[in-house]
Amino acid sequence: MQLSSAGVVANEVRLELKLEVAGEELVVTGSVAAEWTGPCRRCLEPQAGETLIDIREIFEKRPVEGETYRLDENEVDLELMVREAVLLHLPVAPLCGEDCLGPDPDRFPATVAADPDPTELSSAPAGDPRWGALDALKFEDPSS
């Protein structure tokens, strides 16, 4: 599967998913790992990395646009979900290093600003009401 977003290409996508039937719904949890390559946003040197994405999605016969995915009678198509998850989480502008000075530091000094922690972007915010139904389905409580 080849997915790309603004010069960043996911070359290999690995799925580790658990599918569970919950009533009329199919709950898919697990992770998607995407190995990507793309140019450093400052010096344009090729970069590579891996993005790990937490997956918690619901498939149902009548999907809610933008929230759940379509579940067919006898099969489930995971491709759209994987595609959206990867495109949403690929780094928009990779950086070879925090101290990258860019292609020509003398003429175009780069401002080294703090980047958002990429791990913060890869998980759904806790308490997202869309996952309310899913929270009730948790099988293990890490706090107990």
> Which residues contribute to the site for Zn ion (CB under 5 A)?
40, 42-43, 96, 100
Cα dihedral 46, 47, 53, 59 in deg (nearest 10): 10
Instruction: State in angstroms the smallest separation of the CB of 53 from Zn ion.
Output: 24
> Which amino acid is residue 134, in one-letter code?
L
Specify the residue for token string 């869309």: 130
**Sheet (strand 8-22) strand order:** 3-5, 8-22, 25-39, 46-60, 69-70
Q: 50, 119 in Cβ contact below 8 A? A: no
Specify the residue for token string 């946003």: 41
Please say which residue, 40 or 134, places its beta carbon nearer to Zn ion: 40
Instruction: State in angstroms the smallest separation of the CB of 44 from Zn ion.
Output: 7
Please say which residue, 9 or 33, places its beta carbon nearer to Zn ion: 9
Instruction: State in angstroms the smallest separation of the CB of 115 from Zn ion.
Output: 13
> Which amino acid is residue 109, in one-letter code?
P
Instruction: State in angstroms the smallest separation of the CB of 96 from Zn ion.
Output: 3
Please say which residue, 42 or 89, places its beta carbon nearer to Zn ion: 42
Please say which residue, 17 or 110, places its beta carbon nearer to Zn ion: 110
